Amino acid sequence: MLDMQNVDHIGIRISDRDTSVAFYRLLGFELIADGGFEQGHPLVMVHPSGINFNLLGPADARKGENVLMDESAKYPGITHVAVKVASAEDTEAFVAANGIAITGRRDFRGTKTIFIRDPDRNVLELVGPGPAVSELIKEHVEDNPS
């Protein structure tokens, strides 16, 4: 087994630097470094929680489309990032107050989740308090054997 410690960062391809930085700043991230965005290196954005997103770009193909989520063909790759939030209700109120569209929602065994998209339609799942989603899925499968 590989001795993993934690996730260090998540790389997200973006097309417009200013629009994406403004979006992630709205969520509480701070731009701490520009590694050379125009040459395809990351804009390093860190949230007070310690979550680190590296915004990579500039994307030059299919702007405004998410080929992993928006097309009927299912390509391999990371489809979304899920992060825990302290309050599902406060999160939904914040999202609504800032004009961010909720593109999906789920209430799974009492754990409320909403899905939003960044300016490039990359999906963020905001998971409310409760057990980890992995535990919820495991319990569901155990309770509903096929």
DSSP for residue 39: G
Q: How much is the pLDDT for 140?
A: 87
| Sequence spans of domains, the chain | 1-61, 62-146
Q: Write the CB contacts of 36 (distance below 8 Å, at least 6 apart in sequence).
A: none
Domains 1-61 and 62-146 share a fold: no
Q: How much is the pLDDT for 69?
A: 81
Label residue 65 by pLDDT band (50, 70, 90).
Answer: confident
CATH H superfamily, domain 62-146: 2,3-Dihydroxybiphenyl 1,2-Dioxygenase, domain 1 (3.10.180.10)
DSSP for residue 41: P
Q: How much is the pLDDT for 20?
A: 96
Contact 110, 130 (CB under 8 A): yes
Label residue 14 by pLDDT band (50, 70, 90).
Answer: very high
Q: Based on the number of CB atoms within 10 Å of its own CB, is 84 exposed (0-12), middle (13-18) or buried (19 or more)? A: middle
pLDDT tens-place string over residues 102-142: 999 999 889 999 999 999 999 999 999 999 888 988 988 88
CATH of span 1-61? 3.30.720
